[in-house]
Copies of this chain bind each other. A is one copy, B any other.
């Protein structure tokens, strides 16, 4: 039986998604979050999985005026009427630097060798990454120095839904090793917490960035609609142009 693997297929009187009848089994019966899970995992999530996925999606949707939001607004200024272009431009900045932590942290948590001494493994990971010049993904935050409030909220839900703590425990050992090595506090940030929770519900680390892209698309659509009632792009451009360091007068 391979039908369940088919992404989507249309006949004259039905559309099937992952082997399920879209009109009779899905529309009106499942939430969009269920659909996100179905698209990736080829099966509907349970109550626990859905609540975790909902929470992570909610946590990643809106981060204020990040570069991705600035980019979407500036793109709309130059190419009005092509919403998909402004959203696409914004998503293009959601790459290794901004969303990579989700993948990177999820990879560490998922490739953790079960047979190893976990604390020793955590120290090895930290030592190796620091030697290679990398920051440990999922830890630390420039604004939330005393702990990311979104992490607390996500972890509270994980406790409430009795989500297995394995990946959170691994992340905590990673945090301890990183704090010991760097000599400063590196609390688990929202990317780290998201990686731990999504790993615990079985999402492969390679696709964690995709979850963030779904959330970010909603955030960008929100910003672009906000732009129509409170245009900021021209002011953003003027500020950026005025700030450009290389526009300083020649010094010689």
Contacts and interface: CB of A to CB of B under 8 A. Distances in A.
Which residue, A64, A74, A77, A240, has most C-beta atoms of chain B within 10 A? A240
A215 to B, nearest CB: 7
Contact of A236 (B210, B219, B244): B244
A11 B39 CA distance: 35
Interface residues of A, number: 124
B150 A59 contact: no
Interface in A42-92: 51, 53-55, 57-59, 61-71, 74-75, 77-89, 91-92
Nearest to A26: B58
Given A22-B59, A82-B82, A215 B154 contact: no
Contacts of A58: 22, 26-28, 30-32, 34-35
Which residue, A3, A12, A65, A237, has most C-beta atoms of chain B within 10 A? A65
Which residue, A9, A209, A214, has most C-beta atoms of chain B within 10 A? A214
**Copy number of this protein in the oligomer?**
4
Interface stretch (A119-127, A138-146, A174-182): A138-146
Contact of A221 (B2, B40, B78): B40
A213 B157 contact: no
A225 B214 CA distance: 14
B28 A31 contact: no
Contacts of A23: 149-150, 152-153
Contacts of A246: 2, 5-7, 226, 230, 232
B79 A93 contact: yes
B93 A8 contact: no
Which residue, A32, A34, A66, A75, has most C-beta atoms of chain B within 10 A? A32
A244 B235 contact: yes
A227 to B, nearest CB: 10
A57 B70 contact: no
Interface string A178-221: 00000000000000000000000000101101110111011101
A224 interface: yes
Contacts of A86: 92
A164 interface: no
Contact of A250 (B3, B10, B36): B3
Contacts of A143: 10-12
Nearest 3 interchain pairs by C-beta:
A79-B95, A39-B222, A239-B243
